[in-house]
Amino acid sequence: MDRNKRILIYKILFAIYGLIGVYLLFVRPTTNSYGSYIQNLRYHLNYIPFVQLIRYVKVIMKGYGWPEVHMNLFGNVLFFIPLGLFLPAIKVRFRYFPRFFRMLLIIDLSIEIIQLFTLRGVCDIDDVILNVTGACIGFLFSRPLRHLRRRIDKKIASKRHDPEESEEEVNEANENVNED
């Protein structure tokens, strides 16, 4: 598959991924309302690192493991792995980690700030930590996956252009093309 088609496919998949993210973060119904807008802002903000993560780990260690605990811990990590795969695949400049990391922070902090002011979810530094962890895991896998794809492309290309094809078969194919 040529590079332009592959990038188009990546962009389409990235758009679908983005739409799912927008739905999960901003569209689905929420019932968190605690009085005035200012009171809600206070409730929807956690700027102290690891507070919520430590609570979640304690819940799991006690053997409770509520679904929302697992969903928050593992969901944030797992949901951002594709971001770490797509960004370097779509734009070459994001194959360089510092650039990738800056873009990741811009995306993630934008999400958290929008969540804070729209009161859709919680603006949580622990979410940033988990999201960045997931995207960095995806980034780590992006390079080996790119190399694997190249190897597969080379094998496919070599099978299409088999060097063992006889000169006679090549001449016959050329004659058939010229006749059409």
Q: Note the pLDDT of residue 161.
A: 66
Q: Note the pLDDT of residue 178.
A: 47
Q: Note the pLDDT of residue 156.
A: 84
Give one DSSP letter per residue of 15-73, joined into a string: HHHHHHHHIIIIIS------SSHHHHHHHTEE-STTHHHHHHHHHHHTT---HHHHHHH
CA atoms within a 13 Å half-sphere pointing along the CA-CB vector of 36: 3
Q: Note the pLDDT of residue 177.
A: 45
Q: If the chain, 180 residues long, is cut into consecutive pieces of 10 residues, what is the mean pLDDT of each piece?
A: 88 95 82 73 86 86 77 90 96 96 96 88 91 97 93 84 55 51
- Give the DSSP letter of residue 92: G
Query: What CA–CA distance (Å, rounded) separates 136 from 77?
Result: 9
Q: Note the pLDDT of residue 26.
A: 84
- The structure tokens listed for 35 are 């009085």
Q: Note the pLDDT of residue 108.
A: 96
Q: Note the pLDDT of residue 10.
A: 93
User: What does the domain layout of the chain look like in residue ranges?
Assistant: 3-149
Q: Note the pLDDT of residue 126.
A: 94
- The pTM assigned to this predicted structure is 0.80
Q: Note the pLDDT of residue 179.
A: 47
